[in-house]
Structure 1
Amino acid sequence: MSRQVVRSSKFRHVFGQPAKADQCYEDVRVSQTTWDSGFCAVNPKFLALICEASGGGAFLVLPLCKVSPLGGLGPALRTARHDESLDGGLTLPLREPVVTLEGHTKRVGIVAWHPTAQNVLLSAGCDNVILVWDVGTGAAVLTLGSDVHPDTVYSVDWSRDGALICTSCRDKRLRIIEPRKGTVVVEKDRPHEGTRPVHAVFVSDGKILTTGFSRMSERQVALWDTKHLEEPLSLQELDTSSGVLLPFFDPDTNIVYLCGKGDSSIRYFEITSEAPFLHYLSMFSSKESQRGMGYMPKRGLEVNKCEIARFYKLHERKCEPIAMTVPRKSDLFQEDLYPPTAGPDPALTAEEWLAGRDAGPLLISLKDGYVPPKSRELCVNRGLSVSRRKATSETSSDVISRLEEELRKLQTVVQELQKRVDRLEDTVQAK
């Protein structure tokens, strides 16, 4: 009788630990929208989530050091990473945007920041158009029109250096696109046979991971080599639940986490460079189902507790942090768990990336812990932003000249009125 060999992995015993009640965010009404998104974004200082409100489009910004919500309004279905510089959190609701991006003709369902270029933001709308923005000027610098995606875009993900994007679409096609050229590098028809939405993310070594459904409506996860999309490197069927699986990939550990909308569990797999490539590790389960999920960047984790991932699980009226931890007895820094990871600083300017340059993320060490910067602001050229949206915008000198002209006219009117008053007084005195 042959003995089954158990594959060795330092991540086999990773376990999930939900936060205690006093560390959860209570009384937050999560959006009821059925869009297949995580509805949540996290950085080392703040949590942002899409919440329910009349008219839609509302979101909350919550300081991680507090558990009471402070809110702001703005249209969104999906949140992306956000600014880490608002020390002390928000003191008033956000009512005036730093910059307004106008270009889509229908609602926007996806936003994704470029991983290494400053101020470059991608958005995908229900108009089947993907726009790439230079947020610093408020201008749409690249457009992928409906000739690229003839139907709704389900998911978009940047490659690690931001040179490519991969998209999944309602037309059942998986595409890898060079956005600066507007060209489809390669595409795959029906990576999953089912009719439900497919989601795709780049993973290590030129591979893409997709989640979808079989013809019999079974949930699937597949791994693909971008150079050979004819057949998947690995295809696994999971269960018959109906919730779309949202993938979150950690390039430092090569672990991918699958969080299903409406599920009460998080599955995780390890990706290796040799067959069978995709290895199931374990599953975290809880009693309550999730409406959405946020994922903390590695620099926001507690390395002294061997925490390798943290999720922010959205309930109907609560946000619950869940820490994923590797059990270790030593209190020393575990270098094998925490290689240098992506920091918050951009490697390129928007202009450099648009000119054709690519660069991987600037890496930082977590050995001494990560301290978020005290001052980091979004640099917006307001003059350019306004002029692009309003061709007749005035310069400062124009405004001053106009005001001086109006002042002269008012002075003339006052002088005429004074003369009339003088004449009336002379008339009264004469009588």
Structure 2
Amino acid sequence: MSRRVVRTSKFRHVFGQAVKADQCYDDIRISQMTWDSNFCSVNPKFVAMIVDASGGGAFMVLPLSKTGRIDMSYPTVCGHTGPVLDIEFCPHNDNIIASGSEDCSVMIWEIPDSGLTSPLTDPVVKLEGHSKRVGILSWHPTAHNVLMSAGCDNVVILWNVACGEAVVRIDTVHTDLIYSACWNRDGSKILTSCKDKTMRILDPRKGTVLIEKEKPHEGSRPVRAVFVSDGKILSTGFSRMSERQVALWDPNNFKEPLTLQELDTSSGVLLPFFDPDTGIVYLCGKGDSSIRYFEVTDEAPYVHYLSMYSSKESQKGMGYMPKRGLEVNKCEIARFYKLHERKCEPIVMTVPRKSDLFQEDLYPDTIGPEPSVEADEWFQGKEAQPILISLKDGFVATTKAKEFKVHKSLLKTTTASAGSQQDSSGEVQSLRNEVKDLKAAIEELTKRVRELESKH
């Protein structure tokens, strides 16, 4: 008889557990929109959730410590005139969050350290350039103040947020609705999946297609894709018989997938979350009541099923905590914020270990909050790897969060519309006049100083 060999993995016994009821966020009217985004974003300070709002769009931002029942009158961020479709915290400043809406705009908000005490209606910056609703947002992983947005106008825009400028506009590549768009680890490539049944790797600054794969999944339902280790790509989609699938691709050989696995016949789109430190990918389905996790390795079948967390209630959205927000002394390797009908419930993934000591094999140096390149440098072609930090003593902000500075004098150039050129020329003229006045004032002061010196 042949003996079945069990694959060795330190993550074989990862298990998920919901926190106690008093650590959940209750009585929140989660948005009823059917859009397939996460509806939630989280960082070591705040958790944000898209909520129902009358007469526009809104989302709620709560300090992580504000658990329990949330009062109906709790202030929201409510500056959009249409429903909010996606939100994402800035990776380089925990107080900055971006929101995309049906009103075709992207707004950047600054949240006070203690949370909101009154409704927030005025964004720090408003970015206008899309002609249809904006459903996907993603901050650049290493460049400061670079934001990618994708809209239902089939356009991807890369913004320099500090001056509100649409620097790159990719509008000739996608022929249909964009399902997903994400960066690779150093932000040198963009991966998109589209309703035209094509998965594309793009050069973000040139806006050109580097490589593409038609029909990564045979079915006609939405495909999601993310970069995983070594530049490989993991995609989720549907077979021709509407079975949910997960596939792993090598962009150097896009003809056949490295592996293609069928999961089940549920209808919810699978949202993939990849952890580069552990090589684990978590699949969360909209409308599911479970989170599956797989380990991505170099050995066949490359995507190894580990386990599944299940609960009774189905999820309407999901937030994924950055590594620096985890409790390393409890061997916590991931934390999700699962949205139900009326509440947000944290789910903790841990590796059981008997020792209380820091487990170096579970926590290699991870991406920190410090950007490695400025927006202008990156748009000019500079590449930079993420700046890594150690979690040995838990995450401590050794440097002040990268301050969010807006060049207000340049903000009139925000929109990508034709009318903005007149605004910008007028703005430039007023700046020139200001400089002229300052020069005249300096000359006058220099003259007076000379006169005073000659008297002495």
TM-score by length of 1: 0.90
Q: What corresponds to 1:408 in structure 2?
A: none
**2: CA distance, partners of 1:74 / 1:222:** 39
Q: What corresponds to 1:36 in structure 2?
A: 36
Q: What corresponds to 1:71 in structure 2?
A: 76
1:116-195 aligned within 5 A? 116-145=142-171, 147-195=172-220
Amino acid across the alignment from 1:344 = P
Does residue 329 of structure 1 match 2:354? yes
1:184 to 1:397, Cα distance in 2 relative to 1, 3 A: closer
Per the TM alignment, residue 398 of structure 1 is displaced from its structure 2 partner at its CA by 6.9
Q: What corresponds to 2:18 in structure 1?
A: 18
1:119 to 1:13, Cα distance in 2 relative to 1, 3 A: same
State the secondary structure of the residue aligned to 1:174: strand
Partners of 2:56 and 2:78 within 8 A in 1:
no
Deviation per CA, 1:123-175: give whole Å up to 9, x if none: 00011100000001000000100x20010000001010100000000000000
Does residue 46 of structure 1 match 2:56? no
1:84 maps to which of 88, 94, 100: 94
Deviation per CA, 1:317-347: give whole Å up to 9, x if none: 1000000000001000000000000001110
**1: CA distance, partners of 2:193 / 2:290:** 24
Q: What corresponds to 1:7 in structure 2?
A: 7
Amino acid across the alignment from 1:27 = D
**2: CA distance, partners of 1:56 / 1:14:** 41
1:345 maps to which of 340, 351, 370: 370
**1: CA distance, partners of 2:238 / 2:324:** 34
Q: What corresponds to 1:379 in structure 2?
A: 405
Per the TM alignment, residue 356 of structure 1 is displaced from its structure 2 partner at its CA by 1.1
Per the TM alignment, residue 120 of structure 1 is displaced from its structure 2 partner at its CA by 0.2
**2: CA distance, partners of 1:226 / 1:342:** 24
Does residue 100 of structure 1 match 2:108? no
Find the structure with the greater CA-based Rg. Answer: 1
2:280 maps to which of 241, 255, 258: 255
State the secondary structure of the residue aligned to 1:22: helix
Q: What corresponds to 2:253 in structure 1?
A: 228
Amino acid across the alignment from 1:278 = V
Partners of 1:243 and 1:263 within 8 A in 2:
yes
Partners of 2:140 and 2:146 within 8 A in 1:
yes
Per the TM alignment, residue 103 of structure 1 is displaced from its structure 2 partner at its CA by 0.3
TM-score by length of 2: 0.85
Q: Is the strand fraction higher in 1 or 2? A: 2
1:396 to 1:148, Cα distance in 2 relative to 1, 3 A: closer
Partners of 1:84 and 1:376 within 8 A in 2:
no
Per the TM alignment, residue 377 of structure 1 is displaced from its structure 2 partner at its CA by 3.0
Amino acid across the alignment from 2:148 = L
**2: CA distance, partners of 1:74 / 1:19:** 33
- 4-13 vs 262-271, which moves further: 4-13
1:7 to 1:375, Cα distance in 2 relative to 1, 3 A: closer
Unmatched runs of 5 consecutive residues or more in structure 2: 96-111, 415-419, 435-456
Number of equivalenced pairs: 399
Per the TM alignment, residue 57 of structure 1 is displaced from its structure 2 partner at its CA by 2.1
**1: CA distance, partners of 2:75 / 2:24:** 14
Per the TM alignment, residue 305 of structure 1 is displaced from its structure 2 partner at its CA by 0.3
1:204-353 aligned within 5 A? 204-353=229-378
**1: CA distance, partners of 2:20 / 2:312:** 15
Aligned-pair RMSD on alpha carbons?
1.7
State the secondary structure of the residue aligned to 1:236: strand
**1: CA distance, partners of 2:330 / 2:79:** 36
Amino acid across the alignment from 2:29 = R
**1: CA distance, partners of 2:337 / 2:392:** 24
Deviation per CA, 1:33-60: give whole Å up to 9, x if none: 1111111111100111111112442111
1:377 to 1:91, Cα distance in 2 relative to 1, 3 A: farther
**1: CA distance, partners of 2:431 / 2:229:** 51
Deviation per CA, 1:100-133: give whole Å up to 9, x if none: 1010011100000000000000000011100000
Q: What corresponds to 1:416 in structure 2?
A: none
